[in-house]
Structures are given as C-alpha cells and as structure tokens.
Amino acid sequence: MPLNRRKFLGTSAATGVGVAVTGAAVAPSTASASVLGSGKPSRRERRYSFTVLGTTDLHGNVFNWDYFTDKEFDDKDHNDVGLAKISTLVNRIRKEKGRRNTLLIDAGDTIQGTQLSYYYAKVDPITAKRGPVHPMAQAMNAIGYDAAALGNHEFNYGIPVLRKFEEQCDFPLLGANALDAKTQRPAFPPYFMKRLRTPHGRDVKVAVLGLTNPGIAIWDKANVQGKMTFPGLEEQAAKWVPKLRSMGADVVIVSAHSGSSGTSSYGDQLPYVENAAGLVAEQVPGIDAILVGHAHTEIPEYFVENKKTGKKVVLSEPLKWGQRLTLFDFDLVWSKGRWTVEKVGAKVLNSNTVEEDRKVTRLLADEHKKVVAYVNQVIGTSTAAMSTAEGPVKDVAIIDLINLVQRETVAEALKGGAYASLPVLSQASCFSRTAQIPAGEVTIRDAAGLYPFENTLEARLLTGAQVKEYLEFSARYYVRTPAGGPVDPAKLTNADGIPDYNYDAVSGLTYEIDIAKPVGSRIVNLRFEGKELDPKAEFVLAVNNYRASGGGNFPHIAKAKQLWANSEEIRNTIIGWVKAKGTVDPGRFASVDWKLTRDGTPVF
C-alpha cells in the first residue's frame, strides 16, 4: 500500500519520530515444516523462508537502450540494462517463491542518468501543472517495489522534483539520515515495515531501514543547504536499528546508498564516511543484511562480522543500471516465542539472460519515442569526427571542445567585472570513452554524450601554485611506468581505482605528466603563454560544481573564492554553443597542451 506522505509528516512533527508504512501479506511458506503423528508441525521445527530482491543505481534506465548512441545498449561484457529486464527476473522469482514471500527494494540513484530521466525533469518536467508521471515512477509502480532508499543523485534536480517523484511513487522513499535542517527530524520516512504471514499463525515482521549518502551536503549544496542535513550512516543506523527491533522487527535489512569500501571522495570536508555500508555492518548490532549501492560495483555476496556480537552480516550490491538483481534468501526458525534468522545468503542474477517485460515496455512506449525524437534533433554540423576513445591518455579535440565552451562562458560572465583581466583556465574529464561527435550533422544526443552528468559551471580563483598542486593530484590517475619499457595504454590509467571522471585535463596551460616519476612530482614544464608558471599569479578556473564542491577531493578548489556560478547544466551550455556557432571546426580550437612523458620522452 502506498505511503501517505502528508500523514507521515504529520506523525513525524507530532512525535519527533518518523513512522513508515506497514503492509500485510498472506502466503504459504516456501519451506515445509516437519509433520508428526498428530498431523501438526512441531513447535521446535516451525520454519519459514522468504526472499528480498534488490536493485540499485538504476539511473533512469527503463529500456535496454542507449540514448547517446540511439541503439540497443551493449558493452564489452554484453550486459543489458533497464527495469524492463529487471521486471522479467522479478516475475520469475515471484513465481518460484510465491509473490507474498518476496519483497522488492532499491538502494537509490533512480531519477538521474539517462536522457529519459532528464527529459522528464527538465524538458517536460513532472513538476509542471498537469505534468507527466515520471517514467521511473510508472515502471517501479508497475513492477511493484515495496521501498527505495534515496540516492545522492535524487537531489540533482532540486527538492521540488524529488518531492513530486516521491508523490508519484506507490512506495516510500527512505532516508533515515536525510534530516530537516531546522527540526533535525527525518525529512523522509526512515524505514518501511511489512508483515509476512506464515502457515504457523505467527507473522514475520520485516523492517527495511533506508540510508543515503552524506556527500549530498557537498555535491548538491546549492539544492539542500539550509533545507536538509545528512549525518553519517553508522550514527543513524545505531539510532534506528534498536528502535526497529523494539517495535518487533524479526528481520532488519538496511538499504544503503553507500559503498562498502570505507573510503570517501570528499576527504575531510565532512566528518562522515561516503562508502560506509561495511562499517554499518561492523559497528551496528541487529542487522541481518545490507543492500549496498552507490559504488557501481558488483558484490554478489560479502560477509562482514559485527564487532559487538560476532554475527556475520551479509552484504550484496547488484551492478548498476539494472544489469543485475540481488537475491537475499532468508531461512527463519521459530524459537523461544519468536522468529530468528537461521541462515541468510545472497546472490545476483544477470538481466542479460531474459527478455524485456512487454508490460513495462508497452507502458512507456510513448515516453521512449518522445525522448528518442528529442535527442535526435540536429543542432549543427562538425567539419571532422571527434572521439573520446583516447581521451584518458591523450589531449584530444573533443575534450578541448568542452574546455573551450567552459572558458568562453566564464570569460563572458566575468566581462566588465573585477576579475575580467585574469586568464581563464578550464578543467574537463573524460566521462565516457565512447562519446563522439561525427563529421556532418551534430544532434543533441551527440553533444549530450560528452556530459552525461547534470553538472553546472562555476568560476573559482586559484594561484599558480595551487593550479600545480591540482594538476599533481589529478596525475595520480596514471600507473607509474618506468622509462624505457613497453607501454600498454590499457594499463596506464585508473591507478588505485581512480575513475575516469576523477582525472582532470586543464586547458589554458601547457604541461607534461611524467609517469615515470612518483605521485606528487609528475607535472613538469608547466607553462602559461610560453613562460614558466608564476606560483603567485592568479587564475580563474572554469570548473564543474561537483569538483568545486569537493567531489574527488581535489586540493584547494572547494575552499577557493567563487567568482561566478550558474544553474544551467554544462551539457546544455555545450548544446547552446553548438546551436549558436552552427559549425564545429576542431581546426580552430584543438591543440596538444598536455602529454604523457617518461624522463622527458613522450609516451605517444
């Protein structure tokens, strides 16, 4: 049954405690009880089994479709994506286990990531008067989700869009550590509880606690500052798990939009850990299983021992975009007047093994067609083809295009002001190694493919010395490679697991990255306008809001003076630039301003 948000908030305001919906289900057990001569199950052997299905980081994927390439999704491992595929897997498991012996939950990052989700947030927004129902709400309602945790990307489009999406969902969006900034009470339901009826006359009460990512306070500062706060997962789990147990929960599951590694990408800017799911399992007693999200990694089954009880907690993270579905299988036994978890295990199913559920694809066929037509609108032409394929290891024209647009936009914004005379630099990352601009007609999807995130543009003030430290930090991305030996481009990048989006190429300067040198001393021949960079000189850096707010933990930038910022996505700024120019000519802006070297010898 759907959550009545108005009723929840009223209860929350009156009691100071958020209460989520309670449902009921009636079903035969999937595990048989022993039958004695009397024909009755033995009290000592009352058993019940049920399954919790989980997804995470769906990022607006309903169809097995790539809107940036305008064709069916595929990758080197031939994964498939989308809720239509997940729906088929869910239907299969419900048929096997009995629908009423299953729950379906999600661990967040639902409404951002594809042009489908972007279209209904920005082009034909769900917040408009008589606006549409979000495709993700329609699909998840049709599939029958029981609850979903909030992800950090839920806040990208602002709180009004999130609240409208919440209103359109037939299930609660959970966030025990998403608090109202003024009252410090939960701004969303902290938990969801459901009764599963067994053949033994004793219901099993299953609680799902939702936890989101503290990094929201940094990454979406413009949307949440002064409105919501996001304390640490361990702290809030320690508060809520005992409450859920005292309310009679036989099983406690955490849906956490937080990875399991115990690391953070925002350094010491917040006193909380970004990827804290493992720490929650380790530190907070009373948890049976954790559905992990946020990290975009696949963890079929991982056990963490709780330090206080010695009990092992099972964690599982299904791969992003609907590529995998997690199954938590619970075996319970009735003992000493209560149900206890005897055994729980986890595994993942691959969505590329099934067809799309036609019920879901038919439901959203019109929305899909609208978005396909939108992304294929022609906005200009290009005199040459450009690609990001070599972007991680070479200064390529397509990344130069992003930096050119950003530098021109910031320079225009600062014109006539106190900082108009300062040189403008720009940072850009290779978000996708498959993005390309074709020779000839350029469409919205071509331009949008360069920037799959809804980042906005800022201008920050840095000194020459700070710029060098920024570049040194970025250069950690490369694996140290001795001079003279062979070079495999496929093994040069992503040192220590650093993702492509946390490597920045900076334009407006020339420099070399000596990958034979240790981290911290790799930037050589750093020059501005042909001269050695002055450490005391001042520069304006055109930078995306994720980086400016501390994403990636780059030095200096988060504390640097903000000179300008806007609310327009960089993606749309690029689209607007191409429309205004009409023609994109790499010959006018492409240049090799940085390169990889070893002891002064170019790698390529």
Average pLDDT in the chain: 92
CB 349 within 8 A of CB 89: yes
d(CA 173, CA 232): 18
Break the chain down into helix, strand, coil percent, rounded to 5.
Answer: 30, 25, 40
Dihedral sign, CA of 526, 529, 534, 540? negative
The 3-state DSSP class for residue 62 equals coil
Mean pLDDT of 238-258: 98
H or E stretch at 464: helix 464-474
H or E stretch at 164: helix 159-168
d(CA 2, CA 6): 12
Mean pLDDT of 253-260: 97
E strands of 286-337, at which residues? 289-292, 299-305, 312-317, 324-335
Predicted confidence at residue 45, as pLDDT, reads: 74
Mean pLDDT of 384-406: 97
d(CA 473, CA 313): 36
Q: Please report how many Cα atoms fall inside a 13 Å half-sphere around the Cα of residue 115, on the Cβ side.
A: 26
DSSP string over 400-449 = HHHHHHHHHHHHHHHTTSTTTTS-EEEEE----TT-EE-SEEEEHHHHHT
pLDDT at position 31 over 50 = no
Using a 10 angstrom Cβ sphere, with 0-12 exposed, 13-18 middle and 19 or more buried, the burial of residue 394 is middle
> Which of 11-20, 68-77, 532-541 is the least confident region?
11-20
Q: In Å, how far are 14, 291, 579 from 396, measured between CA atoms?
A: 58, 39, 22
pLDDT at position 452 over 70 = yes
Predicted confidence at residue 34, as pLDDT, reads: 34
Q: Is 20 left (phi over 0), alpha (psi -120 to 50) or beta?
A: beta
Predicted confidence at residue 582, as pLDDT, reads: 96
- Neighbour order of strands in the sheet with 583-584: 440-443, 378-382, 583-584
Residue type at 546 in one-letter notation: Y
- Neighbour order of strands in the sheet with 324-335: 173-174, 147-149, 102-106, 47-55, 324-335, 338-350
Mean pLDDT of 583-597: 97
The 3-state DSSP class for residue 349 equals strand
Of 331, 330, 328, 329, nearest in space to 316 by CA: 328
CB 230 within 8 A of CB 212: yes
CB 18 within 8 A of CB 4: no
Angle of helix 397-414 relative to helix 570-581, nearest 10 degrees?
90
DSSP structural state of residue 181: T
d(CA 66, CA 434): 12
Count of C-beta atoms within a 10 Å radius of residue 568: 11
Predicted confidence at residue 221, as pLDDT, reads: 87
d(CA 225, CA 548): 15
Predicted confidence at residue 44, as pLDDT, reads: 56
Instruction: List, for residues 458-505, the tens digit of each pLDDT value.
Output: 999 999 999 999 999 999 999 999 998 899 999 999 999 999 999 999
Predicted confidence at residue 536, as pLDDT, reads: 98
DSSP structural state of residue 35: B
pLDDT at position 70 over 60 = yes
Predicted confidence at residue 89, as pLDDT, reads: 98
The pTM (predicted TM-score) of the whole model is 0.83
Instruction: List, for residues 190-246, the tens digit of each pLDDT value.
Output: 999 999 999 888 999 999 999 999 999 988 888 999 999 999 999 999 999 999 999
Percent of the chain with pLDDT over 90: 85
